[in-house]
Amino acid sequence: MTDATAPKGDDTRADAPARNQWWDVWDQFKTHKGAMFGAAFFIIVILAVYLGPYFWTIDPTYIDIRARNSGPTLAHPFGTDQLGRDMLARMMAGGQTSISVGLTAMALALILGTLVGVLAGYFKRIDGLLMRTTDLFLALPLLPLLLVMVMLFRQPLSASFGPETGIFILIVVAIGITSWMPTARIVRGDVLALKEREFVLAARSIGTRPGKMILRHILPNVMSPIMVSATLGIATAIITESALSFLGLGFPPDFPTWGRLLFDATDFMQQHPERVMWPGLAISLTVLSVNYMGDGLRDALDPRIRGL
Amino acid sequence: MLTYTIRRLMTAIPTLIFISLIIFLLLDMAPGDPTAQLPLTIPPEVREQIRQSLGLGEPVHIRYLLWLKQMVWSEPMFYLSQSTGWFDPPEVARLISWQTRAPVMDTIFERLPQTIKVVGLAYIVGVLIALPIGIISAYRQYSVFDQAGTFVSMIGFSIPPFFSGVLMIILFTVMMPNDSFFWFPSIYDTTLVVDSWETFGKQVRQMVLPVMVLALQTTAQISRFMRASMLDNLNQDYVRTARAKGMTESVVVLKHVLRNSMIPVITVIALGIPSIFGGAIITEQIFKVNGIGQFLIVSIQASDVPSVQTLTFIFAVLIVLFNLIADILYGILDPRIRYD
Amino acid sequence: MKLRTALMGATAAVAFAPMAFADGHEGERGRDGQLNIIYWQAPSTLNPYLSGGTKEVESASLILESLGRFDNDGQLLPWLAADIPTVENGGISEDLTSITWTLQEGIMWSDGTALTAADAVFTWQYCTAEGGGCAQASYFDGVSSVEAIDDLTIKITFDAPKPFPYTALVGAESPIIQAAQFADCLGAAAPTCVDANFGPIGTGPFVVDDFKANDVIQFSANENYRVAGQPAFSSVVFKGGGDAASAARSVLETGEFDYAWNLQIDPTVLADMESAGLGTVVTAFGTSVERLHLNQTNPSADLGDLRATAEGGAHPFLTNPVIGQAMSMAIDRELLVEIGYGAGGQATCNVLPAPAVYASTANDACLTQDIAGAIALLDGAGIVDSDGDGIREYEGTPLTVLYQTSTNAVRQDTQALVKQWWSEIGVNAELRNIDASVFFGGDPASPDTFQKFFADVEMYTNNFAGVDPEAYMANWACKEWPSPESQWQGSNMQRFCDPAYDALIDELATTAGIDARAEIVKQMNDMLMQSYTIIPLIHRGGVSAHANTLGGVKISDWDSELWNIAEWYRTE
C-alpha cells in the first residue's frame, strides 16, 4: 500500500494521477460528520492529558490529607480522592497511561490478529497450524499466564528499559498477546469467503502475486470487522490494564490510570458519585470517539463508497 | 465436508493433549502455592507436609501423566459406572482438588447449572437483542436509532462489570424500596429449589441483575459486528441485482444480505459459547452466583492446580469444538468456501 | 449453662450471665428460625485439619468443638471439658510435662453416641498420621502421647516441660473429631473421606445438612446439643463468596443477611453503610499487627544469587537504627487508622500489643508523629542530602527504598501516605504491590515472596493463634532467617539477629508463671523495637457486622469469631 506507483492498475480514476489515493481517503473521511466529531474529541482528549499537566501543575500523587473526599471546588475542579489527591491531575496522568496502553496494546493485538487471520485464511497449508495455535491461546488461563510472564520478564525488562518503560512493554505485550485471537478468527472467516469471490479469482487470473493480492484486494475488504475489533480492543485494553495493575502485575500502586481510578472509586459510588463518573465518562467517550473514527475510516477506505 | 469434519476431529485429539501439556507446564511454572492462603500462624514445616500430601513432591512429568490418566480414564469410567451400574468404578483415585480435597468433577457438576442458567441465559438474551439492533442500525445507517444504538452499546462495552454490577445493586437493591416490584436480590441463592410458581418467580428475580449486566456486554459486542458486516454487504452488486429482480426489501435484507453477513458474527458467537462454560468471573463474584467462573478464580487464587487444570482443559475442549462448528457453518452459509 | 457459668472465671461470669437473662431470651431450641451468615471467602471444606484457613476453621466451629475455647477477652473457658486443668488443681503435673483433662459428663455427638476420651486420642492420631498433611500439626508439637485414662479422662504427655500446655485440643483450630466417622481416613486416605470432610459429626450446636464447596453450607440445630434451649436458631445458611464491600452491604444496607465477617473496607464507606440503621459493626482485637520490616540484608539485584542472604552482606543503610527510627517517627499512625482501619485498628508501637499482660509501654513515644524530630535525628547523625536532589545519602548511598506489600486497597493507601511522609524527611520510596497468592505463596521460584524479601521494606500483618506468645517471639531467632538453603522458609523476615535475643528465647521456653514470662516477653519486644528493624503500625482487629435484630454476638479474635453462636438469638 505504501507503493506510490501502484494505484494505476486498479484505481478506476487513474486519469487523475497527481493525486495520492490517501487524499481521496481524507476527502471522504472529512465528509463523515461522526468521524470528524470523533477525531476532534479524540484530539482534545489527547491534548488535555498530555498538555494539561503543564497548566494544571498539581502533582497527581501529592497527598493533601486535609482536603480528602472533597467534592468539586475551585481548588479541585474534579474533587479529591480518599487521600486528598487531586482528581483532575490524576485523570490527566491516568489518561496518559491508559490511552498509550490502550492504543499500543490494541495495535499489537490487531496486527497480530490480522496477520494470523489473513495468513490462515489465504494459505490453506498453514491454516490448521495457525488455527490450532489460536485455540491454544484461547484456552490458556489468563491469570496464571500473566503471573508467569511477570515472574520471568519483569526483572530483565526493568533492567534493560528502566522500570517504567519496562513495565509498559510488559503490560502492552501481555494484553496484546492475550487478545489477538478473536480478531484472527474473524478475519480468517472473512478471508475464507473473500478468496472465492469473483474479483479475487479475476485478480488471480491476471497473475497477481499473493502478497499484492492480500494487500490490495483482501485487506481492504476485511477492514470493517478489523475496525470493530479495534474499537472494542481499546476498551478491553484499558480495563485489562486496570485489572493487571490491581493484581500487582502492572504499574506501581500510586500510578493512576483510568481503569484503576474507576475501580478504586467503585466502593465510593454512593458517597462520591462524581469520582466514578470522571473515569467512567473518559473511558466511554474515548472509546466512542475511536469508534466513530473507525466508522469514518472504514467508509473512506471502501472504494465503492469513495467512488460515489 | 464430512471428511473435513472427521479429519478435524482426529487432529483435535493430539491438539488437546498438547494444549493440556502447555497448560500444565504453565500452571507448574506460575508462582503461588497451595498453602499461600493459610494463616501465617501455620509454620513452614507444616506447610511442607501439606505440600507433600498433595503430591507436590513428585516430578512434573509424573504429575502430568497422572492428571491425564485421571482426566481421560478414571473420571469417565467413574461416571460411566455410576450412571449405568455395569461395573465397579476403577481402582484409580479420582481427580482431587487441593482446596476442597474432594473430586474436582463433583464441584464442577454442582456449579454448572448456575453458570448455564445465568451466563447462558444472558448470552441468549444478549444475542437475541444484538442481532436486530445490528441489522436495523446497518439498514438505517446514521438514523436516530443507529446513533442511539451505537452510543448505548459503546458505553455498555466500555463500562466494566465490576462497575455496572455494583451500580445495579445500588439502584435495584439498596435504593429501591424492599416491597417494590423492581427490587431484586443482590445475592444469588444457590440453595433455592424451584418446585412451585412462587419459587420459580424467585429464581427469575434473582437472575435479573446478573443477566442484565452480562447481556449488556454481549449485546454491545455482537451488535457492532453485525452492523459492520451488514454495511459491507448492503453495498454489494448482488444486492442491487436482487432488488432489480423485484424481490421485496425484506427478502433482500433478511435472506441475501443477512446470510452473507453472518460469517464474522458466527465467529464471534461461536467464540463466546465456550466462555459461557468458563463463566463470568467478575459478575459471578459480585452477585455471588457460585458458578464455574467463581470456582476458577478461587482455584487460581488458591493455586489449586488440579481444579484450574481440569477447568481449563474442559474449556479448551469446548473451544476446539465450537471453532470446528463455526468452520462448518461457514461452509453452509457460503457454499463457495471449500476446505477439501 | 448453669454448670458452666459456675465454673467460669469470676469476670466472665459477671459479664456473661446477666446478659443472657436480662434480655429474657430463654426458650425452646430453634425458636428463632433461620440465621443468615455471609463470609465473603467461602469455606472449601469443613474439616479444619485438612485446611487451616480461617474460613474453614470458623465455619467448622459451628459443629466441632474442643476441650476449651477462648472467649472475647482471651480467657480460656472449659468447653467440652469440665474445668481448666492447672498446676494448682493438679490437672498439670508439677514438672509441666503432662496435662489431664476431664470431659463433662453426658456429652453426645449429634448422631446420638457418647463423646469419649477415645475420640480425643483419635484426633491426635488423625492429625499426626504420616502423609495426611494435617494443617494444624503445630498444635500437637511436642506431644509425645495422648491417652484415654478412662471414658472421660484424657492425659496429654509432652516430651519436654511445656509452660503453656493449652494448645492440643484447645481452640477452634484443634477440635475433637469423631473416631467412628474418621476411622478409615488416616494419613494419605484423608481426602478420600469426602462425606466426612464435608459433613463432620460434631458436638456443637449445629449439624450440617448440605455442604457445597466454596459456596454455601446449610446447618440445622443439633437435637442432641447439651444445653437446653440452645441454639435459638433452627437453621443457619452460611453463604460464601463475593467481596468485603458487598458482604457489608448485604447486612448493613439491604438486610439480606444477619452477619458478615472480615469487612476490611474504607471506614467512611463502612460508617455510611452502618448509618442506614439495619446493622451494627463490631470489632475484636487479638494479636494482629500490621508492620513494616526493614531488610537487614542487601536485596540489590546486582548480587544475583546472594540477594537478601547473609553471604550477600548487610543492607547499605537500613542496618543503622537511626534511619529506622527516623522512618518510624515520620509516620502518623493515628491517621493511618483513621484513613484505612477505623474501628478495626489502633495505633501501636509494639509488635506484641496483646494480651494486655505482655504489652510493653516502653516505646509509646512513636504514637505521635514527629517529622521535625526525625529530620533533626538524621541531621544530627550526619545523614544529610549532599547533592541537593531532596534525598539524603548515607555513606554515599541515597536513601531510596523499594517498599512492597500485598495487593489490598487499604495497604496501597497506607503505602502512598508513608511514601509522602518519608519524602518529607528525605527518604525516597518506590512502591510495589504483589498479588497476595504470590506474595504469601512462598514459591521458591518466584522473586516476589515475602520470605525472599527482594525489597528494602515490606508490609504485612502477622499474629499468633491463642494467647501464648512463646512460639511467636521465637520467630526472630538468628536461625530463623529465610535463606536459599532452607528453600527460603523461615519466619525472621527482616533478618534480625542478636545473640542476647536468642538467649531470652531459651529462657522463656523454660520459665513458668505468667508474670515471669511476661517480663521476658516485654524485654524481647523492646529489643526488637529498639533495633528498628521492625516498625509496628497498626494493632488490627477483626471487623464484622451483624443485623440489629441479632443478639448475643460477642466476637472474639482469640478463637473462632462464632465461638458462642449457640447463644445467639433474634431480638424483636
Distance, CA of C27 to CA of C10 (rounded, Å)? 26
Distance, CA of B337 to CA of B329 (rounded, Å)? 10
Residue C100: in which H helix or E strand, if any? strand C98-102
Size of interface B-C (CB pairs under 8 A): 181
Residue of C nearest to B109 (CA): C212
Give the tens place of pLDDT for each residue, C418-465.
999 999 999 999 998 888 878 887 777 788 889 889 999 999 998 887
Per-residue pLDDT, A19:
64
Per-residue pLDDT, B78:
83
Residue of A124, A114, A89, A303 lying closest to A216 (CA atoms): A303
Per-residue pLDDT, C13:
35
Q: Does C449 touch chain A (CB under 8 A)?
A: no
Give the tens place of pLDDT for each residue, B155-168.
887 788 878 888 88
Chain A residues 195-254 within an 8 A CB cutoff of chain C: 246-249, 252-254
Q: Does A198 touch chain B (CB under 8 A)?
A: no
| A306 — pLDDT class (breaks 50, 70, 90) | low
Among the partner residues C188, C212, C241, nearest to B110 by beta-carbon distance: C212
Most confident segment among B3-12, B106-115, C174-183: C174-183
User: B267 CA to chain A: closest CA distance, Å?
Assistant: 6
Give the tens place of pLDDT for each residue, C515-559.
899 999 999 999 999 999 999 999 999 899 999 999 889 998 888
The mean pLDDT value for B9-36 works out to: 87
Give the tens place of pLDDT for each residue, C161-173.
888 888 889 988 8
User: C159 CA to chain A: closest CA distance, Å?
Assistant: 44
Q: What percent of chain C has pLDDT over 70?
A: 95
The mean pLDDT value for A251-267 works out to: 84
Q: Does A287 touch chain B (CB under 8 A)?
A: yes
Q: Does C86 touch chain A (CB under 8 A)?
A: no
Q: When comparing pLDDT for B180 and C322, which is higher?
A: C322
- What single string gives the DSSP state of each residue in B46-64? HHHHHHHHTTTTS-HHHHH
The mean pLDDT value for A77-94 works out to: 90
- Indicate if the pLDDT at residue C15 is higher than 60: no
Q: Does A84 touch chain B (CB under 8 A)?
A: no
Distance, CA of A136 to CA of B22 (rounded, Å)? 9
User: B22 CA to chain A: closest CA distance, Å?
Assistant: 8
Per-residue pLDDT, A196:
85
Q: Do A246 and C407 touch (CB under 8 A)?
A: yes
Per-residue pLDDT, C7:
37
The mean pLDDT value for B268-294 works out to: 82
Q: What percent of chain A has pLDDT over 90?
A: 19
- Residues 6 or more apart whose CB falls under 8 angstroms from that of C335 comprise A65, C369, C417
| C23 — pLDDT class (breaks 50, 70, 90) | low
Q: Do C213 and B110 touch (CB under 8 A)?
A: yes
Among the partner residues A82, A249, A254, nearest to C435 by beta-carbon distance: A249
Distance, CA of C250 to CA of C237 (rounded, Å)? 14
Cβ-Cβ contacts under 8 Å, B40 against chain C: 440, 462-463
Q: Do C433 and A65 touch (CB under 8 A)?
A: no
Size of interface A-C (CB pairs under 8 A): 72
The mean pLDDT value for C412-419 works out to: 92
Which of A267, A271, A272 should we substitute to test contact with C (largest number of C Cβ atoms within 10 Å)?
A267
- Indicate if the pLDDT at residue A5 is higher than 80: no
Q: Does B256 touch chain C (CB under 8 A)?
A: no
Q: Do A82 and C266 touch (CB under 8 A)?
A: yes
Residue of C166, C42, C100 lying closest to C465 (CA atoms): C166
Among the partner residues B29, B32, B186, nearest to C437 by beta-carbon distance: B32
Which of C412, C421, C434 should we substitute to test contact with A (largest number of A Cβ atoms within 10 Å)?
C412
Most confident segment among A133-147, A275-289, C523-537: C523-537
Per-residue pLDDT, C25:
67
| Dihedral angle over CA of C318, C322, C323, C329, nearest 10 | 130
Residue of A nearest to B340 (CA): A124
Give the tens place of pLDDT for each residue, A91-124.
999 999 899 999 999 999 999 999 999 999 999 8
Q: When comparing pLDDT for C33 and B37, which is higher?
A: C33
Per-residue pLDDT, A17:
53
User: C269 CA to chain A: closest CA distance, Å?
Assistant: 7
Least confident window among A70-74, B333-337, C394-398, C532-536? B333-337
Q: Does B38 touch chain C (CB under 8 A)?
A: yes
Per-residue pLDDT, C9:
37
The mean pLDDT value for A128-137 works out to: 90
Give the tens place of pLDDT for each residue, A151-174.
788 778 877 887 778 888 988 998
User: B239 CA to chain A: closest CA distance, Å?
Assistant: 14
- Indicate if the pLDDT at residue C21 is higher than 60: no
Least confident window among A43-47, C261-265, C349-353, C542-546? C261-265
Distance, CA of C509 to CA of C505 (rounded, Å)? 6
Q: Does A228 touch chain B (CB under 8 A)?
A: yes
Q: What percent of chain B has pLDDT over 90?
A: 10
Which of A132, A149, A177, A178 should we substitute to test contact with B (largest number of B Cβ atoms within 10 Å)?
A132
Amino acid, single-letter form, for residue C128? T
Per-residue pLDDT, A4:
40
The mean pLDDT value for A267-280 works out to: 85
User: A127 CA to chain B: closest CA distance, Å?
Assistant: 10
Distance, CA of C225 to CA of C567 (rounded, Å)? 12
- Domains annotated for chain B, with CATH where assigned, are 111-333 (1.10.3720.10)
Q: When comparing pLDDT for A287 and C121, which is higher?
A: C121
Distance, CA of C489 to CA of B184 (rounded, Å)? 49
- Indicate if the pLDDT at residue B91 is higher than 70: no
Residue of A nearest to B221 (CA): A232
Amino acid, single-letter form, for residue C462? N
Cβ-Cβ contacts under 8 Å, A135 against chain B: 15, 19, 316, 319-320, 323
| B268 — pLDDT class (breaks 50, 70, 90) | confident
Per-residue pLDDT, B266:
87
Distance, CA of C256 to CA of C271 (rounded, Å)? 18
Q: When comparing pLDDT for A12 and C468, which is higher?
A: C468
> For strand C76-78 and strand C345-347, is the pairing parallel, antiparallel, or unpaired?
unpaired
Per-residue pLDDT, C24:
52
Q: Do A254 and C412 touch (CB under 8 A)?
A: yes
- Indicate if the pLDDT at residue B185 is higher than 80: yes
| C52 — pLDDT class (breaks 50, 70, 90) | confident
Mean pLDDT, chain B, as a whole number?
85
Per-residue pLDDT, B69:
87
Distance, CA of C246 to CA of C260 (rounded, Å)? 10
Residue of B nearest to A304 (CA): B235
Among the partner residues C413, C431, C432, nearest to A82 by beta-carbon distance: C413
User: C470 CA to chain B: closest CA distance, Å?
Assistant: 12
Distance, CA of C424 to CA of C419 (rounded, Å)? 9
Peptide linkage before A60 cis (omega within 30 of 0): no
Least confident window among B87-101, C6-20, C165-179, C519-533? C6-20
| B332 — pLDDT class (breaks 50, 70, 90) | confident
Q: Does A196 touch chain B (CB under 8 A)?
A: yes
Mean pLDDT, chain A, as a whole number?
83
Q: When comparing pLDDT for A139 and C294, which is higher?
A: C294
Chain A residues 44-63 within an 8 A CB cutoff of chain C: 61-63
Q: Does B147 touch chain C (CB under 8 A)?
A: no
Q: Do B150 and A291 touch (CB under 8 A)?
A: yes
User: B98 CA to chain C: closest CA distance, Å?
Assistant: 9
Distance, CA of C447 to CA of C454 (rounded, Å)? 7
Which chains pack against C, by 3+ Cβ pairs within 8 A? A, B
Q: Does C243 touch chain A (CB under 8 A)?
A: no
Among the partner residues A134, A145, A232, nearest to B26 by beta-carbon distance: A145
What pTM, to 2 d.p., does this model score?
A: 0.84
Q: Do B53 and C256 touch (CB under 8 A)?
A: no
Among the partner residues C137, C213, C243, nearest to B102 by beta-carbon distance: C213
Per-residue pLDDT, B300:
84
Among the partner residues C213, C254, C490, nearest to B186 by beta-carbon distance: C254
Residue C546: in which H helix or E strand, if any? strand C534-547
Q: A222-231 burial by CB neighbour count: b if 16+ within 10 A, else e?
A: bbbbbbbbbb
| C334 — pLDDT class (breaks 50, 70, 90) | very high
Which of C254, C265, C273, C293 should we substitute to test contact with B (largest number of B Cβ atoms within 10 Å)?
C254
Least confident window among B126-140, B320-334, C93-107, C431-445? C431-445
Q: Do B30 and A131 touch (CB under 8 A)?
A: no
Cβ neighbours of C379 (radius 10 Å) = 15
| A8 — pLDDT class (breaks 50, 70, 90) | very low
- Largest Cα separation within chain C, whole Å, is 79
Q: When comparing pLDDT for C357 and C22, which is higher?
A: C357
Q: ipTM greater than 0.95, yes or no?
A: no
Least confident window among A8-12, A226-230, C124-128? A8-12
